Structure 1
Amino acid sequence: MNCFVYWPLALIASSAFAQPTPKTTQPSLTIETIMQDPKDWIGTSPSNPFWSDDAKTLYFSWTPVTTGATEKAKSDSLYKVTFTTGRGKSRVASSPIKVSPLERRNLPAPTGVYNRAHTQRLFERQGDLFLLDLASMKVRQLTNTVEPEMEALFAGDEQSIVFRRPGSNLFSIHLSTGQLAQLTDFRPGANADASGAKLTDEEKFLKQDQLRLSSVLAERKARREEGERISKADRPKRPKPIYLDGKLLFNPQTSPDGRFITYRLTKSPTNAKIAQVPNYVTESGYTEELSARIKVGAPLPTHEFFVYDIARDTVRAVSLKTLPGISDKPDYLKTSSTAKPDTTKKTRSVVVSGPVWSADSKLGVVVVRSLDNKDRWICRLDPETLALTVLDRQHNDAWIGGPGIGSTNAPGSMGFLADQQTLWFQSEATGYAHLYTVNVSTGERKALTSGKFEVQQVQLSSDKTQFFLQTNEVHPGEQHFYRMAASGGERIRLTSMTGANDVTLSPDETQMAIRYSSSNQPWELYVAPLSVESRAVKKRSSSAVSVSSTGSTPVKLTSSQTDAFKAYPWREPALVTIPARDGQTIYARLYKPTSGGTGKSVVFVHGAGYLQNAHKWWSQYFREYMFHNLLVDKGYTVLDIDYRASAGYGSEWRTGIYRHMGGKDLDDHVDAAKWLVQTQGVDAKRIGIYGGSYGGFITLMAMFTTPDVFKAGAALRPVTDWAAYNHPYTASILNEPQADSLAYRRSSPINFAEGLKGHLLICHGIVDVNVHVQDAIRLSQRLIELKKENWEMALYPVEDHGFVEPTSWMDEYKRILKLFDERL
C-alpha cells in the first residue's frame, strides 16, 4: 500500500510511511544480541542519496525492515521516492519504491559535471561516457569501448569533452562531429635513439666523434634528417611523445582553453621495505603473506610537476625553490638534542596538486604541500612563464590539517566565484577551519566566516552567487546546514533537528534530502524544501549570523529499525563538559544508571585520534554504544570523551599531541576519571578503560604510565610502538623516528610495559594490515620478559583491523565484560 504526503508550498511534519509498532516487553541486553549482524538486529539505514536531474525523484540505497527480516538481503537495494508538481504548486511524495533492475541500469550516474549553463550533464556509466540534455532529459552515448573512459570534463569552449583512458593519456571528442583526438602521448619508457636503445654518455660521445671525423656520415645523417622533416610535415600533427622513464603519472589535465597540459610525475623509492602480514587461515591450506605498507621513516617518493605547452610543443618542470619558507628547518630540529647539525639550506620535499582553473582559462591555481605537512602554499601558476605567485601560505609547527584543507593528493575545498577572479578556499589560519576568498590578480584576501567553530563542508551554488555550508557553530556536537551569500555576511540556517544533518541538495537547489540521526536513533532519510526566504539571501553585515532555521519541518521518508531493536529504550547520553588540568574544556558523553550506580565505572576511548564521538548523533561506534547501555544496566557509569587530538574543536586541540602521543590525550582521560570520582559518585579504585586502535594505544599508556588510576583495561588492536606504524599518519604527529627519536620513545607503550599493575586484556586480528599483529606479539614478549602475569591476549585469525564476523565481536566483548565484572 502506498502512502502519500502533501506539502502546499512547504512540507508538513510527518512520520511518513512509518507504521506503528506494537509495544513489547523491554528485552535484557546480552553480548550475543548486540554483537550479532546489525542488519538482522538493528536494521539498515538509508545511504548514498541522490536526486534525479529533474529533481522529481530521490534515490537511495536501503534495505527495509520487512526485506531484511524475511528475504535476508545480502546488500542494500536501490529505492526511490517521487515528487510531482500539482495544483497550487504542491508536492506529492510517494512511499519508498524499490527500483527495478532495468530502471537502475538505465539511470544516469549520480556523479558527473555540468556545462556552465547547466543545460547538459556529462557522466560515466560502466566505463563509457554519456551526455544528458536536461531540457529533453534525453541521454546520448558518446563512447562504447572496451577500455574505460574516466575523469571526463567539458573543454573550455564546451564544444568538446576531454577524458582519460587507463594508459593515462588524454583524449577529446568533438560533440558535433564526433571526432576523436589524442591530446597526449605519454610513454612508459625512457627516450631512446632510432635503434630503440637509450644511449649512455660514452655512446653519445662516440657518436658525436664519428660525425666529427667523417663528412660522409655527417652528410648521410643530414639527408636522412631532411627526409624525416619532410615526411613529418606531410603527417598530421601529433602530440609530443613524453617519456615517463619509470615514473608514475598523476593527474594529467588540460587547461580550459586546451593550450596547456599539466601533470605530476612520482618516482617511487627502490629501497622502501614493505611490511608483510601472515595469514594462517586460508582456502589454500598454506600460510600466505599479505603485503601491507611501509613503516614511518622509510624512504618516500619524490615528485615533479610539469607543464606541456601544446602550441610550443615543449615540456618544462615547474621550479618550487623560490617558495617562501621552503628551506626553513622545522622547529623541532632547531631544538632537538638528537638532531644532527645541518647548516645547509636544503629545499624541503613538496608535492603539487591541481591546478584549479578559472572557466575562462586565464587563471590557474595550484596547491603545494610540504611532505613534512608543516606548510601549504596556494599559488597562482602562469603556465607560459611557469612563475608561481603565492596567494596564501598556511604554516603550522605541528602539522597542517582540518576540514577542507586537503592532503598531499588533493588541493582541498576551493574554486572560483562567478567573476573568474576570486578564489574561495578553506584555512585554519585563525585556529579553526574557515572560508576565505582571495583575488588571484590583486592578492586581496577576505575572511567570509570566523569564530570558534568549524566550517566542515562547502558547496558553491550553481550560479556561483551563494555558498551552502555545514558547520558546528550551534554546538561542537551538532551539525547544521546553512546558506550564505558568496560575498559573506549572514548565514541562514536551513536545518533544525538536533543532531547531525547530512544534506544532499536537489539539482535545482530547492529541496534538501537530509540524512539525520540523534544520539540514540540511527540514521533516517528526510526531505524538506528550501523556503523562498532562504533562497533569496541578501547582503548584510559580515558580523551578522542567523542561527534561526528558515526551512520547513522535514518529512521523514524511511523507518529502518527492527521491532526488536526499537523495543529497548536506548539511552540518550548526557553531553557534559569536564575541566582539564590546563584550563581547556573536554566534551564527553556520560551514561549513568538511573538508580545511582554501584561505584564502578568504565571509560571508553574512541579510535582514529582525529575523530569525534562526544556528539549528538548516532555514533559510528554503534556496537560500543549498545555495549555501554548493557554496562549501565549492570550498574556501571560509562564515560566517553573527546580527548586532545579529537576532531571538531580546531587546530590547537587537534595538534595538542604533537611530539607526545599519550601526553595531553592521556591527561584528559586521567582528568576525566578524577571528575567521575568527584562529581558522579564513582569509586576511584573501580575504574576501567578500553578502546580500539588509537583507543587501544591510550589504554596501554593508561595501564602502563598511570596504573593507579585504572584498575583494568582492554586494549583492542592497539599500536604498541609508533615506529612500526604507517608514514602519513605518524610522521605528521611525531616527525620521523630517525630525526625525532625522543618523540617516539615517550609515545610508544612498549617502552613503559614495566609499569603494569592492573589487569590487561589485549585483543588483535591476525590479518590486520593497518596495525599489524606483530605489534601485539612484540608487546607480549616484553611482558613475558618482565615476568608480568596479570594480562592475557586473544588473537582472531580471520579478522582485519575492523572486525567483520559477529562471532569475533561476541568473543571479544564477552572477554571485555568478563574483565570488568571480575576486576571492578
Structure 2
Amino acid sequence: MRIGILTVSAFCFSVLPVTAQQQPTAPKLGPLTVDKIMREPAQWLGGLPSAPYWSENGKQIYFQWNPTKARRDSLYVVNAGGGTPRKVSLAEQRSLPANRGRYDQRHLRKVYEKDGDIYLLDLKSQQVRRVTNTAERETEADFALQDKAVSYVRGGNLYTWDPATGETVQRTDFRRGSKPGPGEMDKSAKFLRAQQLALFQVIRQRDQDAKARERAQRALNRLRPKGIWLGSKTVENLQLSPDGRYVTYTLVQEPAADKLALVPNFVTLSGFTEDISTRSKVGAPQTAYELGIYDIGRDTTFVLGYKDLKGLDELPAYRKEYQLSASAPTDTAKTKKAAKPAMEVRRVVPYGPFWSNTGQRAFLVVRSADNKDRWIVALDPTTQKISLLDRQRDEAWINGPGIGYEAGNVGWLPDGRRIWFQSEETGYSHLYTVDVTTGQKKALTSGKFEVQDARLSLDKKSWHLTANKTHPGEQHFYRMPVEGGPLTQLTTRPGANEVTLSPDEKTLVVRYSYANKPWELFVMPNKPGAAMRQLTHSTTPEFESYPWRDPEIITIKARDGADVYARLYRPATATAQGPAVIFVHGAGYLQNAHKWWSQYFREYMFHNLLVDQGYTVLDIDYRGSSGYGRDVRTGIYRYMGGKDLNDQVDGAKLLVEKYGVSPQRIGIYGGSYGGFITLMAMFTQPDVFKAGAALRSVTDWAHYNHGYTDNILNEPYNDSLAYARSSPINYAEGLKGALLMCHGMVDTNVHFQDIVRLSQRLIELKKENWELAVYPVEDHGFVEPSSWTDEYKRILKLFDTNLKPAVPVSR
C-alpha cells in the first residue's frame, strides 16, 4: 500500500506545471576533456550550415543543415526575407530543379541534368520541359548553336535538341576499336571471282545491285556524323562550336596497366579480409590527353599539334644539375666532351576550347604535364593553328587561386576580343586581360594579396571578387569596374565571408565565421557596408557555455627574413619555463593561421584544452601554406622538410625567447603533411622537440601519389636527391625524444604500409622510445568519435608525460 501511494504521488508530481525556478538549465560544458570535445560534433557543437544556393526566382535560400542532431545533414530552405528555416521533404526535393546547370547568354533559361535526364527551365515562368526520358544517362547539359539548341552527351556521343521543333540530332559517332579494313583476297580467290562474273549474268546483275546499294548508303551517310574510330582511347569534353561547324573533344589515352597498391581491410561485414585497390605511386605512367577536332563541313578529323609552342622543349632547371653531373669526367684520361643529350619535347594537356559568344574566336589553356608551364593560346580550327597569348612559367609548379591544376578561372569579356584569366606573374594571383587581336595584356588588380575568386556581373559592367586584401587571414567580397580600378569592399566583418549572389545580384547570402564563432548563414543587400541579418543559429547551449579563445595572430621572423604567420594560444597566467606544443596543419597547401572557424575545429578545441592545462600552443602557416602568394606556396620545392621545418624551429625559438617557454618542454604534432613534418622534426631536430605525435604521416615520398608529389619533388627517377632529403625514413636514426605514431589501417591516401615500413626501420635501428597506435576501421580522415577520442587521449598523455615537470611524491 505504501508503495502504491508513493507511485501515485510521484506520477502526480511529474505532471504538475514546471515553474520558472524548476526549468531545467542548459547543459554546461564545464572543464574541457578529450571525451567531451571529441564527441560527434552535431550532437553538442551543432550542425553547421553549408553549401547555400538560391532558388531560381531569388525568393528562397537552400542549404545543408543539421539542427536536429541527426546522423547526417539534410536540405533546408528559408525565405530570403526572413522566417524560420524548414526541412525540405523528399517529395519536394524531387520536384526542385538541379542546383547546378548552365544559363543561356541572356540568363532567361537554364538547362540541367537530374537523375540522368536533361531538363530545360524557363526562368520567368518557372516552367520545366523535359528534354530526355531514357534508360541511358544523359550528362553535360549546355546551350549550343548560339542558344538555339540544347546539347548533351549520351553514350559517349554529342546530341543537340531544338526546343522550337523538338528535333534531336546526333552530332558525333565515336566508335571503340579500329576501323575495319577491306577484306583481303588471295590470287586464287580473285581468279574465281572474275570467272563467276564472266560466266553468269545473274551474278553480274546482283553484284551491280549491291554496288548501287552501297553508293546510296554512302550518300545517305553524308547526312549523318562521320564515324570516328577511337582505338583504345576514350573521349570527354565534347563541344559543338557556336556556328555548328566543329565538334571538339578531348582524346584520353590511359597508360598501360601499372601495379596498384592494395590496402587490406580487416574489419568487414563479411568477416573476411577484403583488399581495396587504391593507386599507383609517384613516377608511374600517366594519362595522355589530346585535342581532337571534327570539321563537319569537310567531314574530316584532326588532332591539334603543339610543336611551335614557345618553351615546349625547355627542360626544368633542376634537370641541368643532373646533366652536368653525368657529363663531368670521372678521371683525367676521360677528356672527351660528353655527347649533347637528345632534345626532349614535353607532353601537354589541353583545356577548352573556350568560344566567344559569337563563335568567331576561341582559345585554349594548355599545361605542360610536368606542371611548370601554362600557355593561353588563340585557336583557329580552320587552319589547325594556335598562337600564343600568354605564357606562365614556374620552375617549381603552376598553381594558386583561380589557376589550380586545370584550365583555371578564365573567360571572354563582352567585346569578344579580350579574354580574362588569373596569373601569379607578380607573385600573387591577380586578374588579367589579353587582347587576342593585338596581344596587349593588362593587369586589372595588383598588390600583395590574392584574388581568390573572380566573376563577371550579369550586366558585364563589373567584377565580383573574393580576396584577402585587408589581411592574409581575412576573406572579403568586393566589386570592381570591368576595366579595373578601385575595389569596393562589400563585407566588413573580420573572418571569412563566403558569398553567393542572388539571381538578380541584388542580395548576398553570406556563410560567415570568425575564429571562435562557427559558420552561420547571413543575408545582406549588395551594397558596401550593409547590415548582415542572421538566418541560422546552429551552436548548442552546451558549446556556447565555454569561453572559446580568440587566438592571437602573430608573425614570426624566419631565419631567411620571411614573415611567417601563426596562431598563438596563451594561458591567462603563464608559468615561467612552462610547456608548449606546436601544431602543424595538414595538406601542405592550406591556411590555418586565419581569423575564421578552422576546418581543424577538433584541434582548435584541443588547443583550448591544452591552454587550460598550462600549455602555450603555436599553430604555424609554414612555407608551402596557402593565402600568402607564390613564394610561400613554392617554398618547399625539391625539399620538403627544409624551410617548412625551419619555420617550426624558428617558432620554437620565439616561444622560448619571447613567451617564457622552457626549451626542454616543447612538443610538436600534426596529421598527414603535419605528421610528416613531425617525423622530420623528431628525427632531424631532436634537441628542439622533446615529444611528437605523428598522425597518418607520409614517411617516404617515393611511395605517395603522382598528382601531389611530382609537382613538388619531380619524378623520383629524375630527381632522386629531392626524394632522399625529403623522406623521414632516411633520418630515423636521429630519434631521441618520445614519438607517438597513429595511423588508420584502411588509409587509401597515405597507406598504412608507410608507417609499417618506418616501424621496421625503427626496430632495426634499435629505437625504443616510440609507439604505434593503429585504427582498424579508419581511412585517412577519421570519422568515428571513438577513434578521435582514443587518438587524442594518447597525444595528451604523451605531452603530459614528457613536457610537464614531474610531480614530487609526498612523503
- State the TM-score, normalized to the length of structure 1: 0.89
Question: Matched residues in 2 for 1:40 and 1:148: separation?
Answer: 39
- Local SS of the residue matching 1:336: helix
1:322 to 308, 312, 319: 308
Residue 350 of structure 1: how far off its partner (Å): 0.9
Q: Equivalent residue for 1:496? A: 492
**Greater Cα offset, 502-511 or 95-104:** 95-104
Q: Equivalent residue for 1:518? A: 514
Q: Equivalent residue for 1:475? A: 471
Residue 161 (str. 1) matches residue 129 (str. 2): no
Q: Equivalent residue for 1:81? A: 78
Residue 226 of structure 1: how far off its partner (Å): 5.5
Residue 423 (str. 1) matches residue 425 (str. 2): no
Q: How does 1:247-646 map to 2 (within 5 A)?
A: 247-336=233-322, 343-407=341-405, 410-531=406-527, 550-597=528-575, 599-646=578-625
RMSD of equivalent CA atoms: 2.2
- Local SS of the residue matching 1:103: helix
Q: Equivalent residue for 1:109? A: 98
Question: Matched residues in 1 for 2:98 and 2:144: separation?
Answer: 20
Query: In the superposition, relative to structure 1, how do residues 758 and 162 fare at CA in structure 2: closer, same or farther (>3 Å)?
Result: same
**Contact 1:120–1:132 at 8 Å: present in 2 too?**
yes
Q: How does 1:236-247 map to 2 (within 5 A)?
A: 237-247=223-233
**Contact 2:175–2:230 at 8 Å: present in 1 too?**
yes
Q: Which amino acid aligns with 2:64?
A: S
- Local SS of the residue matching 1:435: strand
Q: Which amino acid aligns with 1:139?
A: V
Residue 62 of structure 1: how far off its partner (Å): 1.1
Encode CA deviations 1:778-811: one digit per residue, 9 max, x unaligned: 0000000000000000111110000011101011
Residue 303 of structure 1: how far off its partner (Å): 2.1
**Contact 1:275–1:292 at 8 Å: present in 2 too?**
yes
**Contact 2:145–2:240 at 8 Å: present in 1 too?**
no
Question: Matched residues in 2 for 1:209 and 1:174: separation?
Answer: 55
Q: Which amino acid aligns with 2:38?
A: M
Query: In the superposition, relative to structure 1, how do residues 147 and 592 fare at CA in structure 2: closer, same or farther (>3 Å)?
Result: same
**Contact 1:128–1:149 at 8 Å: present in 2 too?**
yes
Q: Which amino acid aligns with 1:300?
A: Q
**Contact 1:211–1:218 at 8 Å: present in 2 too?**
no
- Local SS of the residue matching 1:93: coil
**Contact 1:528–1:551 at 8 Å: present in 2 too?**
no
Question: Matched residues in 1 for 2:523 and 2:680: separation?
Answer: 46
Question: Matched residues in 2 for 1:189 and 1:603: separation?
Answer: 57
Query: In the superposition, relative to structure 1, how do residues 813 and 756 fare at CA in structure 2: closer, same or farther (>3 Å)?
Result: same
Aligned residues: 761
Query: In the superposition, relative to structure 1, how do residues 402 and 216 fare at CA in structure 2: closer, same or farther (>3 Å)?
Result: farther
Q: Which amino acid aligns with 2:761?
A: R
**Greater Cα offset, 137-146 or 766-775:** 137-146
**Contact 1:211–1:217 at 8 Å: present in 2 too?**
no
**Contact 1:338–1:740 at 8 Å: present in 2 too?**
no
Residue 233 of structure 1: how far off its partner (Å): 1.7
Residue 822 (str. 1) matches residue 811 (str. 2): no
**Contact 2:173–2:228 at 8 Å: present in 1 too?**
yes
**Contact 1:339–1:740 at 8 Å: present in 2 too?**
no
**Contact 1:338–1:739 at 8 Å: present in 2 too?**
no
**Contact 2:29–2:542 at 8 Å: present in 1 too?**
no
2:666 to 679, 683, 687: 687
Query: In the superposition, relative to structure 1, how do residues 641 and 785 fare at CA in structure 2: closer, same or farther (>3 Å)?
Result: same
Question: Matched residues in 2 for 1:497 and 1:217: separation?
Answer: 92
Q: Which amino acid aligns with 2:239?
A: Q
- Local SS of the residue matching 1:753: helix
Q: How does 1:722-733 map to 2 (within 5 A)?
A: 722-733=701-712
Question: Matched residues in 2 for 1:719 and 1:813: separation?
Answer: 19
Encode CA deviations 1:334-365: one digit per residue, 9 max, x unaligned: 11369766622221011111111111111111
Question: Matched residues in 1 for 2:151 and 2:639: separation?
Answer: 48
**Contact 2:28–2:542 at 8 Å: present in 1 too?**
no
2:652 to 655, 670, 673: 673
**Contact 2:61–2:78 at 8 Å: present in 1 too?**
yes
1:152 to 141, 146, 154: 141
Question: Matched residues in 2 for 1:192 and 1:692: separation?
Answer: 55
Q: How does 1:710-725 map to 2 (within 5 A)?
A: 710-725=689-704
Question: Matched residues in 2 for 1:107 and 1:717: separation?
Answer: 41
Any stretches of 5+ residues in structure 1 without a counterpart? Answer: 1-19, 84-91, 196-202, 532-549
- Local SS of the residue matching 1:685: strand
Question: Matched residues in 1 for 2:221 and 2:740: separation?
Answer: 73
**Contact 1:718–1:776 at 8 Å: present in 2 too?**
yes
Encode CA deviations 1:448-474: one digit per residue, 9 max, x unaligned: 001111000111111222111000010
**Greater Cα offset, 38-47 or 510-519:** 38-47
Residue 229 of structure 1: how far off its partner (Å): 2.0
Question: Matched residues in 1 for 2:97 and 2:257: separation?
Answer: 46
Q: Equivalent residue for 1:705? A: 684
**Contact 1:21–1:563 at 8 Å: present in 2 too?**
no
Q: Which amino acid aligns with 1:793?
A: L
Question: Matched residues in 2 for 1:148 and 1:21: separation?
Answer: 55
Q: Which amino acid aligns with 1:171?
A: Y
Residue 30 (str. 1) matches residue 18 (str. 2): no
Query: In the superposition, relative to structure 1, how do residues 344 and 337 fare at CA in structure 2: closer, same or farther (>3 Å)?
Result: closer
Q: Which amino acid aligns with 2:398?
A: I
- State the TM-score, normalized to the length of structure 2: 0.91
Q: Equivalent residue for 1:46? A: 49
Question: Matched residues in 2 for 1:403 and 1:781: separation?
Answer: 40
Q: Which amino acid aligns with 2:571?
A: P
1:790 to 769, 774, 777: 769
Query: In the superposition, relative to structure 1, how do residues 234 and 399 fare at CA in structure 2: closer, same or farther (>3 Å)?
Result: closer
Question: Matched residues in 1 for 2:187 and 2:609: separation?
Answer: 83
Query: In the superposition, relative to structure 1, how do residues 271 and 215 fare at CA in structure 2: closer, same or farther (>3 Å)?
Result: same
**Contact 2:398–2:404 at 8 Å: present in 1 too?**
no
Residue 39 of structure 1: how far off its partner (Å): 0.8
Q: Equivalent residue for 2:180? A: 192
Question: Matched residues in 1 for 2:324 and 2:270: separation?
Answer: 48
Q: Which amino acid aligns with 2:744?
A: G
Residue 412 of structure 1: how far off its partner (Å): 0.8
Query: In the superposition, relative to structure 1, how do residues 595 and 51 fare at CA in structure 2: closer, same or farther (>3 Å)?
Result: same
Q: Equivalent residue for 1:4? A: none
Q: Which amino acid aligns with 1:230?
A: A
Runs of 4+, deviation exceeding 6 Å = 20-24, 206-223
Q: Which amino acid aligns with 1:799?
A: E
Q: Which amino acid aligns with 2:34?
A: I
Question: Matched residues in 2 for 1:237 and 1:210: separation?
Answer: 35
